[in-house]
Amino acid sequence: MIDACCLEPMANATRDIEAAIEVFVHGFSTDKSRSFPYEASRVGPLWLMRDAERKNARDYRGEEWIVHDVAAEEADAIVRQHARPSFAVSVVIANDGPDEPTRTAYKALGYRLLRTEGFFVQSLRQIPDPPVIVSIERVRTAERAAQLGKVIRRRPLPDDQLGDDAPFRQYVALDGDAIVGRVRSIDAIGATWCSAMFVEPSYRRRGIGQALMAKMLHDDKAHASRCSMLLATRAGALLYPRMGYERIGTLLIFAPKNRTSL
């Protein structure tokens, strides 16, 4: 196991990215395992995230291959040999690396770029404490879990996943009894993976997202997490640095032109 999240600021860019990737694949896979086991494994120099074996092959969800510091031709050869029909290839590039050669190389191999996302880490050394204008709480009761499940249209966390030792911690922002924002933290090899950050459009630009993140990060630290990691869209990339996250790289997500994408 990589000693994830002992990330001195850019002391060793390769080590930091590899540690971040390991947190990502374990946290992301644990999150997707809520509905069916989703496994993270190594295939040569690549990480693979995919469904566990299913009885019916038509039930397989898309899988994702994670590539870092591996030539496009080598990565493509490994993926094509082992992948199921629906897959994506996500290439992680450190901040100091240009992305145009990667785009060009995968395009030449018959891939199309789906999207790019920023790779961020919060060391938990300093956590901002923004003002709170609505109630922020961790989901601890079956009633609140069921309410959140209806909002996000997913099966709620079971009762045995609502305690202090659970690998998932869900947080909601409440206006009265209405859920107007949410975020989730997932334990991953001594760190935490942040996912599903969302604030209802009519409640944005009021600091609710920052308040949710602050509550989550303080709890992460209290649970002995060494850092929090996440992927961010362009919009999210504006919020997370305010909460102490540092961008350490970029994820380029590709899909083959002639296959179903993730």
* C-alpha 80: how far from chain center: 25
Mean of the pLDDT values across residues 172-189?
96
Q: Is the pLDDT of residue 160 over 60?
A: yes
Contact 132, 233 (CB under 8 A): no
Please state the domain extents for the chain.
Answer: 13-123+249-256, 135-225
Q: Is the pLDDT of residue 157 over 90?
A: no
Average pLDDT of the chain, as a whole number: 91
Binning pLDDT at 50, 70 and 90, where does residue 2 land? Answer: very low
Q: Is the pLDDT of residue 10 over 70?
A: no
Token pair 């992460």: residue: 220
Share of the chain above pLDDT 90, in %: 81
On whether the pTM is more than 0.75, the answer is: yes
Binning pLDDT at 50, 70 and 90, where does residue 238 land? Answer: confident
Helix/strand/coil (H/E/C) assignment for every residue in 96-119: CCCCHHHHHHHHHCCEEEEEEEEE
Least confident of 4-18, 64-78, 186-200, 211-225: 4-18
Mean of the pLDDT values across residues 43-56?
97
CATH architecture of 135-225: 3-Layer(aba) Sandwich (3.40)
CA angle 23, 24, 29 (to 5 degrees): 105
Q: Is the pLDDT of residue 262 over 60?
A: no
